[in-house]
Amino acid sequence: MNATGKEAGAEFSKRLNTVGFRFTPQRQQVYDVLLQKRDHPTAEEVFFRAKKHMPDISHATVYNCLDALVECGLVRQVQLDRGAARFCPNMREHGHFYCDACGRVYDVNLPEKPRPEISLPKGFKAQRYEIAIHGICPECANKKRFNASTL
């Protein structure tokens, strides 16, 4: 039911400590929110969900927690359009599909075979990749077809 039993909690705490962060209930709560519904919520959305279990949590704290989780490698931040950043606890290598019609975000698997190494000019040190695919999701594609046929 809940992804953070005592064992997982200790693991989580250790992970924070290794990067110099403290364990706090707020950080745990924010991480739980991300694990419980993996729909790439914005910071605002995380705030509302966390508030249900922890009514006094503040906006600023949610941003702080999200940044901490990103920094210690438990969460990815995804920036897909001019709007708010989104957050994703899936640390496996994967890309994101962004529906330009409805704004929903889907995880997409990348080819298992490692993609041809992108050769960076001398001196550039890559730390991580983000692959975003923009397009139309099945649901919106259907809606569109329907609308077009009834005009």
Note the residues at the interface with its own copies (CB under 8 A): 77, 79-82, 85, 95, 97, 100, 106, 108-111, 113, 115-138, 141
Task: Answer with the entry of its own copies, DNA, none that 54 interacts with (C-beta below 5 to 8 A by kind).
Answer: DNA
Q: How far is the CB of 71 from DNA (least distance, A)?
A: 10
**Sign of the dihedral defined by the CA atoms of residues 60, 61, 62, 63, in that order:** positive
Q: What angle do CA 10, 11, 17 make, to 5 degrees?
A: 85
Task: Answer with the entry of DNA, its own copies, none that 44 interacts with (C-beta below 5 to 8 A by kind).
Answer: DNA
Task: For residues 30 and 51, give the distance between their C-alpha atoms in angstroms, rounded to a whole number.
Answer: 10
Phi, psi of 68 (to 5 degrees): -60, -45
Task: Answer with the entry of DNA, its own copies, none that 21 interacts with (C-beta below 5 to 8 A by kind).
Answer: DNA
Task: For residues 68 and 84, give the distance between their C-alpha atoms in angstroms, rounded to a whole number.
Answer: 18
Site residues (CB under 7 A) for DNA? 13, 16-17, 20-27, 42-44, 54, 56-61, 63-65, 67-68, 82-85
